[in-house]
Amino acid sequence: MSDKEYQPKSKAGKWFNDRLPLLTLGAHLTDYPTPKNLNYWWTFGGILTFCLLTQIITGIVLAMHYVAHADLAFASVEHIMRDVNYGWLIRYIHSNGASMFFLAVYIHIFRSLFYGSYKSPREVIWIIGLLIYLLMMAAAFMGYVLPWGQMSFWGATVITNLFSAIPLVGDSITTWLWGAYSVDNPTLNRFFSLHYLIPFLILGLVVLHIWALHVPGNNNPVGIDIKKPSKDTVPFHPYITIKDTFALLMFMIIFAGFVFFSPNVLGHSDNYIPANPLVTPAHIVPEWYLLPFYAILRSVPDKLGGVILMFGAIFILFVLPWLDTSKVRSAVFRPIYRQFYWIFVVDVLLLGYMGAMPAEGIYLVLARVGTIYYFLHFLVVLPVVGLLEKTDPIPLSISEPVLSGGAKLSMAKKDNEKF
Amino acid sequence: MRSFSLKKLPVLFFIFFLIINHSFGSEQTKPIKVDWSFKGLTGKFDRASLQRGFQVYKEVCSSCHSMQYLSYRNLGEPGGPEFSKEEVKAIAASIEIEDGPDSQGEMFTRPGRPSDKFKSPYPNVNASIAANGGAYPPDMSVLVKARPGGSDYIYSVLVGYEDPPEGVILDDGVYYNKYMIGNKIKMSSPLMDGIIEYSDGTEASVDQMAKDVTTFLSWAAEPELEERHKTGFKVMVYLILLTVLVYLSMKRIWSRVDSEE
Amino acid sequence: MSQKEKKTNRRDFLYTASYTVGAVGLGAVIWPLIDQMNPDKAQKALATTEVDITNIEPGKEITVLWRGKPVFLKRRTPEEIAEARSVKMDDLPDPQRDEERVKEGKDEWLVMLGVCTHLGCVPLKNKGDYKGWFCPCHGSHYDVSGRIRKGPAPKNMEIPKFEFVDNNTIKIG
C-alpha cells in the first residue's frame, strides 16, 4: 500500500471506507508506482486480463445455448452458429479468443524469461502464473472437447489416456475420468462442468498474481530494484493505463482479424466432422499452443517416459527461479544468457513445428534433439551460465547516471525513448 | 535492448504463421485454386450461382447427402441464395415431411414448411451406409469447413475423376479421384454435362455445376460469411480510429514524463 | 505436578481424537463426491454384445462397438495364422504366443479391442510394417495377431472376454 494513508474526500466515502476500505484499494491501484521504463512487452498483463474476461463473458453466453450431450452437442454448436442472434460472432470470439489468450500468455512468459522477472523477490508471482497457465491448458483442452467433433473426441481420448501410463492405478484413473469405459457422454458432461468452473479459479489466481506483484512492485527492462515512489516511477494511472489501452487495441485489431476474416484458420477442419468412436482421424494434432509439449511426448519411444517428460517440461518451470544461479535479472546485461535465450526460443518454436508434423523420420530426430535441448537449457545452461558469466555493468537507477560503464547509460536512456 | 525489441515482433508472427500454415498442409495433389467471389476481406456470394448451386444439390446430391443443419427458410435469408418468400414456400412444399404423432398417436406426412429442416435422404447413418455399399455419404451442412482446402478441395474432387493410373487396382464400386484424400472414392462422378437443366438458362457444364454447388455448399457451411465480412470491416475501421486517438492521448500524457529528463 | 501432566495428556488425547474423528467424517463425505465420477450403473449394465459372424469371409474383418470402444473381429487366413505363429518371442516387446490370444479350435478368429495401447486411438487395418494394424496417432505397428512390434505402445492390443455362443455368434463381455 502507498505510504500516504488515503482519505476519501466525501463524508459518505469516508463512512464506507472505514467499514470496507475499497476506496483505499482503488487509490492504491491508481497511484501504484510503476517503473517508467516499462516497454511494450509489459503490456501483456493487461491484455491477458482482457482475454480472461472476454472468455468468461462469451463463455457464459455460449453456455446459454450449448447442450452438453454427446447426441446434441455438435448440433447445438451449429444452432449457435446459424440461429442464435450474433451466435457466430460470440462463438468465433470464444474459439479464437482461446488462441489469442495463449499467444498473449506465451509472450508474457517469454518476457519474464528474458528480463528475469521470475527471480527473487518475485518467485511467488512466477509460480502463481504457472498455475494459471496450467489451468488455462486444462480449460482450453476441455473447451476443445465440447463441440464433440472428431478432434474433440480423439484429443480427449489421447489426453485422458496419458493417465493410463501411471503404473498400477492408471487404468482405474482413466475410467474414473471418463465415467465410462471410453470417452463418452459422461466425459463430455463433466468436461463442460469443469470448463465452466476453471476460468473462475483462474480469476481468483489472477487476483493473487497481481497482489503478489504489488508487494515487491514491477520488475523493469533494466532489472534493477528501484525506490518507490521516486523519479524512476510513474503512477499507474494514467501513464500505464493509457499505454496498456493502446497495446490492447493493437492486440484487438489482430484478434478481430482472425474473428472476422479467418475464423477457422487456427482450428482443425476435422472438428467439423461429428465425433465417431470407430474412426481415428489420420492426423491427431492438438491446438497449436500445446504442440511443443506434444512433440516432447511423442519424442520418447516409451509410453510412461513420454508422459513423464511432457509433464516434466512444464513442472521444471516451477523450479526455474532456483535453477537460474545469476543474480542479475535482465538479459540486457547478460551477454551469454542472451544468446542462449534466443536459442531456447528457437528450440521451443522448433518443438512446436515438430508437434504438428508426423512423428517419423527426420521430424522425430529433430523433435528428440529439441526435447533434449529443452531440458539442457534449464538443467545445465541456466545454472552454469549464471555461475560463469561476466555480466555487463548495471546502472544504479533508471534515470540517474551510472557509476561505471557509460555505454550502458545511453542504453538505459534509449529504453526511455521508446515511449 | 539490442536483442529484444518490437522489431522482432513481425518475425515472431511470421514464424508463428508458418507453423500454423504448415500444420494444415496436406500430402495430396494440391486442390485447384479457384478465384471464388466470396474469398477475400470483402467477399460476397454470387446470388445466381447460389441459386443454381441449390438446384444442383436438390437434383443431384440430395439423393444421398443430407444437410441436416439447414432449414428451408435459410434459402430466403439475407446473405444466402435469397430466394423470394414464395419461392422458399414452394421449395419447402414440394418435400414430404414426416410429422407427428397426431391425436391418434400416428405419424403422418405433410408438405414441408419453410421452418422445417432439410429432409435427409436416409432415416439414420446406418441406413445410409447400408444403401451405399459401406461408405457413408457425409452430411453436407459443414462439409466445406470439415475438409482441409475447403471450397477449392470440394470443387477439385467434383472435377477430379480420372481413369486410375497404371498399377492402381480399384475394388468394385470404388473410383479414382486425383484430389480425394487417398485417391479412392466410393462416390461415382456425380456430375455429367447436361445432367440438369438450369432454370436461368446457364449451360450446365460439369465445371459450371461444380462451381455452383461448391458455392452453395460454402454458403451452407458459413451462412454468416457476408455479415461477418461487413461487420468485420466496420469493427476494423472503428478499432483503427480508436487506436489512433488513444495513441495521440498516450503521447500527450507521457510527454509530461519525457520532458523531465 | 502429576495432576497437571494428567490434564495435559487428557487434553492432547481429546484433540487427537477430534482430529481423527473429524478426518474420518471428511473422508466419508469426500468419497461419494469422488466415486460419482466412476462409471454409473447404466454404464456397467452395457456389459455384453452379441455379434453374428456368418458373413465374414476369411481375410476380412469387421468392427463392432462394445462399451463405446471398437472391437475388431478378424477371420484370419491359414497363411496369416502361420505367420503369427512363426514369430520369435524375442522379437516381441510384450511376449505372448498367438495361441494365447485366440480360442482353441477357433484359431482363425481374432477378437480384440481395436484400441491402441499407447493413447487409445483406433489402429488402421492392413497397414504398417507387420501386415497387421498401424496406429496413425503416434506410429505403433501391430502384427497379424494384434501384438505390438514397433512404436510407443507398451502392450499388445487387449483381448476382451468373449465366447462362442454357437458357430455363428460371438458374445463379447
The kind and range of the H/E element at C170 are: strand C169-172
Mean pLDDT for the stretch of residues A107-135: 97
3-state secondary structure of C87: coil
Domain boundary among A253, A284, A315: A284
pLDDT for the residue numbered A418: 39
Q: Which long-range contacts (CB under 8 A, 24 or more apart) does B208-212 make?
A: B208/B52, B209/B52, B209/B56, B209/B60, B209/B158, B210/B155, B210/B158, B210/B159, B211/B34, B211/B49, B211/B155, B212/B49, B212/B50, B212/B52, B212/B53, B212/B55, B212/B56
- In sequence order, what are the beta bridge partners of B177? B161
Q: How far is it between the farthest Cα atoms of chain A?
A: 75
Q: How close, in Å, is residue A17 to chain B by CA atoms?
A: 30
Asked if C141 contacts C128 with a C-beta cutoff of 8 angstroms, the reply is yes
CATH no. for residue A78? 1.20.810.10
- Percent with pLDDT over 90 in chain A: 79
CA distances (Å), A254 to each of A96, A99, A412, B92, C124, in order? 11, 12, 30, 42, 40
Residues A255 and A362 reside in one and the same domain: no
Within chain B, which residues score under 50 in pLDDT? 1-7, 21-27
Q: Which residues pair with C61 in a beta bridge?
A: C74
Q: Are residues A171 and A216 in the same domain?
A: yes
Nearest CB to B1: which of A75, A414, A419?
A: A414
Average pLDDT value for residue range A98-107: 97
Q: With beta carbons under 8 A apart, name residues in chain A contacting C63.
A: 278
Q: Is B7 on the interface with A (CB under 8 A)?
A: no
Helix axes A11-19, A22-31, angle to 10 degrees: 100
Q: Which of A36, A42, A71, A82 to probe by mutation at the B interface, max B CB count within 10 Å?
A: A82
Per-window interface: B 78-137 vs A, CB < 8 A: none
Domain that holds residue A278: 33-284
Give chains near B: 3+ CB pairs under 8 A. Answer: A
Please tell me which of A99-108, A276-285, B188-197 the model is most confident about, judged by mean pLDDT: A99-108
Domain ranges in chain B are 26-67+138-238
CATH of span B26-67+138-238: 1.10.760.10
Mutate to test the interface with A, among B1, B68, B183 (most CBs of A within 10 A): B1
Question: What ipTM score was computed for the predicted complex, to two decimals?
Answer: 0.90
DSSP secondary structure code for residue C91 in this structure: G
Q: A168 — contact with chain C (CB < 8 Å)?
A: no
- Measured distance CA(B76)–CA(A361) in Å, rounded: 53
In this prediction, residue C4 carries a pLDDT of 67
Q: What percent of chain A has pLDDT over 70?
A: 94
Q: What does the angle CA A226 – CA A228 – CA A230 come to, to the nearest 5 degrees?
A: 90
Nearest to A4 by CA among A31, A26, A34: A31
Q: Are residues A308 and A412 in the same domain?
A: yes
> Residue B175 is inside which H or E element, if any?
strand B175-176
Stronger pLDDT, A211 or C102, i.e. the higher one: A211
A-chain residues near C139 (CB < 8 A): 358-360
pLDDT at A106: 97
Which chain A residues are within 8 Å of C119, Cβ to Cβ?
A: 157-158, 161-162, 303
What does the pLDDT read at residue A228? 80
Q: What mean pLDDT do residues A59-65 have?
A: 97
Domain's final residue, options A284, A308, A334:
A284
Q: Are residues A102 and A239 in the same domain?
A: yes
The count of other CB atoms within 10 Å of the CB of residue A2 is 15
C-alpha cell recorded at residue B27 = 500430402
Q: Summarize pLDDT for A396-413 with one digit per residue, the tens.
A: 888 765 544 444 444 444
Interchain CB distance below 8 Å, A282 and C136: yes
pLDDT at A131: 98
Mean pLDDT of chain A: 91
Domain presence at residue A355: yes
Average pLDDT, stretch A140-166? 93
- b/e per residue, A37-60, with b = 16+ CB within 10 A? bbbbbbbbbbbbbbbbebbbebbe
Q: Residue A35's pLDDT is what?
A: 94
pLDDT at A42 over 70: yes
- Looking at per-residue pLDDT, the higher value among B229 and C6 belongs to B229
Q: Please name the residue of chain B whose CA is at the shortest distance from the CA of residue A238.
A: B253
Q: Which of C117, C119, C121, C172 should be substituted to probe chain A, the one whose Cβ sees the most A Cβ atoms within 10 Å?
A: C119
- C120: contact with A, CB 8 A cutoff: yes
Contacts of A178 in chain C (CB under 8 A): 39
Q: What angle do CA C99, C102, C108 make, to 5 degrees?
A: 100
Catalytic residue among C44, C60, C138, C155: C138
Question: Cβ of C118 under 8 Å from any chain A Cβ?
Answer: yes
Active site residue C118: no
A203 in the same domain as A160: yes
How buried is C36 (Cβ within 10 angstroms: 0-12 exposed, 13-18 middle, 19+ buried)?
exposed
A186: chain C residues, CB-CB within 8 Å: 39-40, 43
- Separation CA A68–CA A193 (nearest Å): 9
Looking at residue C3, what is its pLDDT? Answer: 67
Report yes or no on chains B and C touching (3+ CB pairs under 8 A). no
pLDDT band at A3 (very low <50, low <70, confident <90, very high): very low
Rg over CA atoms, chain C: 26
Residues A162 and A196 in one domain: yes
Contacts of B3 in chain A (CB under 8 A): 331, 338, 342
- A161, part of any domain: yes
How are the residues of chain B apportioned to helix, strand and coil, as percentages rounded to the nearest 5?
Answer: 45, 5, 50
Longest dimension (CA), chain B: 89
Q: Which residues contact C80 (CB under 8 A, 6 or more apart)?
A: C59, C131, C144
For the ranges A7-11, B149-153, C128-132, the lowest mean pLDDT is seen at C128-132
Is residue A275 located within the same domain as residue A349? no
Contacts of A176 in chain C (CB under 8 A): 34, 37-38
The secondary structure of B30-93 as a DSSP string is PPPP---TT-STT----HHHHHHHHHHHHHTGGGT---TT-BGGGGGSTTTT---HHHHHHHHH
Mean pLDDT on C131-149: 86
Contact A75 B69 (CB under 8 A): yes
Count of structural domains within chain A: 2
| Residue C133 parent element (H or E) | strand C131-135
List the single best residue of B23, B72, B230, B249 to mutate versus A (max A Cβ within 10 A): B23
- What residues contact C155, with CB distance under 8 A and at least 6 apart? C94, C117, C148
* Domain presence at residue A19: no
**Domain final position from A231, A257, A284:** A284
Nearest CA of chain A to the CA of B68: how many Å? 9
Question: Which chain A residue is nearest to residue B117, measuring alpha carbons?
Answer: A79
Asked if B3 and A399 come within 8 Å (Cβ–Cβ), the reply is no
Would you call B254 and A239 a contact, using CB atoms and an 8 Å cutoff? yes
A295 contact residues in C (CB cutoff 8 A): none
Same domain, A135 and A257: yes
- Res. A129: pLDDT tops 50: yes
Residues A140, C140: Cα–Cα separation, whole Å: 28
How many secondary structure helices (H) and strands (E) does chain C include? Answer: 3, 10
Report the pLDDT averaged over residues A16-36: 94
> At residue C89, does pLDDT exceed 50?
yes
Nearest to A157 among C63, C120, C123 (CB): C120
Q: Which among A292-296, C86-90, C155-159 has the top mean pLDDT?
A: A292-296
pLDDT at A1 (0 to 100)? 42
* Chains B and A in direct contact, meaning 3 or more beta-carbon pairs closer than 8 angstroms: yes
Q: How far is B8 from A227, CA to CA, in rounded Å?
A: 31
